[in-house]
Amino acid sequence: MIRAGVAALALTLLAGCASVNLKPAFEGVRTTVAERTGQEASWARTPPEAAAIEERVTALLKDELTPERAVQVALINNPGLQATFEEVGISQADLAQAGLVENPELSGFVRFPSEGGGRNTELSFVLNVFDS
């Protein structure tokens, strides 16, 4: 019975873990860049995305380099710009973190008397709801 309660509590706590979807923040940046430059910005967050960008840069550089192609290569292959996109993601994660309460604390112990008697079990769950 106690094990089932502890398992249910653990699953509930894990379900409350927050994750941040970074796509909306970058989509806003991508839209603004497209409106202002007519070019597409790309953010390489995973190795497959980086490989796709590398292939695109190779394709853009096969032919004569025009100003439009140079801008496109700079928007999708500039390490400084990729770092700025990462900072946008970090800022969004910081914003999400600021809206969360701190993690609860769960503790417990079991005492076994040295002479006869039953065991004494204690569990405590502390959640700071006044955290700002």
| pLDDT reading at 105 higher than 70 | yes
Assess if residue 34 is contained within a domain.
yes
Assess if residue 116 is contained within a domain.
no
CA distance 53 to 59: 10
Assess if residue 14 is contained within a domain.
no
pLDDT at position 48:
92
How do residues 25-38 score in pLDDT, each as one tens digit? 778 888 888 899 88
Question: What number is the average pLDDT over the span 10-36?
Answer: 72
Assess if residue 36 is contained within a domain.
yes
Domain that holds residue 55: 20-101
How do residues 37-91 score in pLDDT, each as one tens digit? 888 888 888 899 999 999 999 999 999 989 989 999 988 888 898 888 888 888 8
pLDDT at position 51:
93
| pLDDT reading at 14 higher than 60 | no
Q: What is the pTM of this model?
A: 0.56
Whether the CB-CB separation of 43 and 27 falls below 8 Å is answered with no
How many domains, in total, are found in the chain?
1
Assess if residue 84 is contained within a domain.
yes
CA distance 132 to 112: 40
Assess if residue 50 is contained within a domain.
yes
